[in-house]
Amino acid sequence: MSAIVLDGVETAAAIKAEAGVELQRLRAAGVVPGLAVLLVGDDPASAVYVRNKTRSCEELGVRHETKRLPAGASTAEVAKVVEELNRRPEIHGILVQLPLPRGVDAERVLDLVDPAKDVDGFHPENVGRLVQKRPRFVPCTPAGIMELLHRRGIPVRGTRAVVVGRSDIVGKPMGLLLLHADATVTWAHSRTPDLVAVTREADLLVVAAGRPGLVRREHVRPGAVVIDVGMNRIERAEDARQLLEPARFRDFERRGHALVGDVHFPEVKEVASVITPVPRGVGPLTIAMLLKNTIRAARGAQGPADPGRVDSSYPLD
């Protein structure tokens, strides 16, 4: 058996197309959604993410700007930029690119973002709304995964789901969305004893642990659906030989690096029924949902709306 590979690019394109229709409605009313990205420091991965996000904004027609601060910026300097963006009416969405440098208090900075412009869904108010199943903005990666599952006809209700990872960005909101969709959810993490025993219970396994190739064949129940959220750059040939299929290994030899997930793709695709690849899996969905959230924020800024209504194809009840 070899798993069906879910290419996230196709689903992301569908989400962007739908967002584009809403964007044209807003433009007809004289509103151009605006997204501001705050990038602090010179982390190479963050710079790539920001370029991808701004490129997608340009393709769709969302106004965008990037605010850059040096790695040595203080918390107060970063906070000042956030507060300025909060005051600007033409900016509907604010994204603080994580991780922030060590010297910056990330919690304080994220708390300062206007909840109505918090298109990443990280503000405590928006987290609380998600817990109560009346979200304003759903964090982009978990929301994209739910869209992928729903649009590809993969059932969630009644399944046993395991989420490996407990970050505020992916693991925690992912588990909540699955719970709201009537899955029975277990969170696992780096301190979970006998991880194999826990993950093998899953009909649906979502892996967001930040460790390349963590989940292997023995972790997966035959026929399970496996969603790989990991995005890890590898540069050692010994890692590449273990984690990459032959065609990708040849590409690694040319480039000297490759991106891999938290799932050992060559092994797990032989036991899972469905699997997402890295790259071209979850990553494109994250950016599509960011654009969708930005357009939603622009619409909400035009007048009173139910802050608990999320325009998504997947059910929240």
User: Which residue ranges make up each domain of the chain?
Assistant: 30-116, 140-284
Closest among 317, 31, 13 to 179, alpha carbons compared: 317
Measured distance CA(135)–CA(120) in Å, rounded: 12
Rounded to two decimals, what is the model's pTM?
0.94
Q: Is it the case that residue 315 has pLDDT exceeding 80?
A: no
Helix (H, G, I), strand (E, B) or coil at 249: helix
Q: How far apart are CA 142 and CA 87, in angstroms?
A: 29
The CATH homologous superfamily of the domain defined by 140-284: NAD(P)-binding Rossmann-like Domain (3.40.50.720)
The pLDDT of residue 309 is above 80: no
Could you please state the CATH topology (level 3) that the domain comprising 30-116 is classified under.
Answer: Rossmann fold (3.40.50)
State how far the alpha carbon of 93 is from the alpha carbons of 46, 87, 246, 298, 314, in Å.
18, 12, 42, 8, 23
Q: Work out the average pLDDT over 193-213.
A: 97
Burial of 15 (0-12, 13-18, 19+ CB in 10 A): buried
Helix, strand, coil percent content, the chain, rounded in steps of 5: 45, 15, 40
Measured between alpha carbons, how far is 169 from 185 in angstroms, rounded to an integer? 17
Residue range 87-98, pLDDT digits in tens: 999 999 999 999
- Compare 302 and 238 and report the one with higher pLDDT: 238
* pLDDT for 60: 92
Q: What are phi and psi of 197, to 5 degrees?
A: -65, -35
Residue 139 confidence (pLDDT) above 90: yes
- Residue 239: CB atoms within 10 A of its CB come to 16
pLDDT in tens, 234-293: 999 999 999 999 999 999 999 999 999 999 999 999 999 999 999 999 999 999 999 999
Contact between residue 112 and residue 84 where contact means Cβ atoms under 8 Å apart: no
Stretch 197-203: mean pLDDT, rounded? 98
31-45, 101-115, 270-284, 294-308, range with the lowest pLDDT: 294-308
For residue 175, pLDDT over 90 is answered with: yes
Tell me if the bond preceding 279 is cis, omega within 30° of 0: yes
Q: Identify the band that residue 48 occupies on the pLDDT scale cut at 50, 70 and 90.
A: confident
E runs forming strands in 89-246: 93-96, 160-164, 184-188, 204-207, 225-228, 232-234
Strands (E), 86-223: 93-96, 160-164, 184-188, 204-207
CA dist 73 and 77 (Å) reads 6
pLDDT score at 44: 78
Top-confidence residue, 313 or 259: 259
What CA–CA distance (Å, rounded) separates 302 from 287? 24
The set of catalytic residues is 53, 97, 120
Please say if the pLDDT value at position 304 is more than 70. no
Of 54-58, 128-132, 275-279, 305-309, the range with the lowest mean pLDDT is 305-309
Q: What pLDDT sits at residue 47?
A: 83
Q: Residue 314's pLDDT is what?
A: 64
- How far apart CA 61 and CA 55 sit, in angstroms, is 10
Q: Is it the case that residue 308 has pLDDT exceeding 60?
A: no
Q: How far is CA 106 from CA 79, 82, 99, 125, in A?
A: 10, 12, 8, 16
- Give 65's pLDDT tier (boundaries 50, 70, 90): very high
Number of neighbouring beta carbons within 10 Å of residue 27: 12
161 bridge partner residues: 185, 204
Residue 45 is predicted with a pLDDT of 78
| Predicted local confidence at residue 141, as pLDDT | 97
Q: 140, 291 in Cβ contact below 8 A?
A: no
Q: CB–CB of 232/253 below 8 Å?
A: no
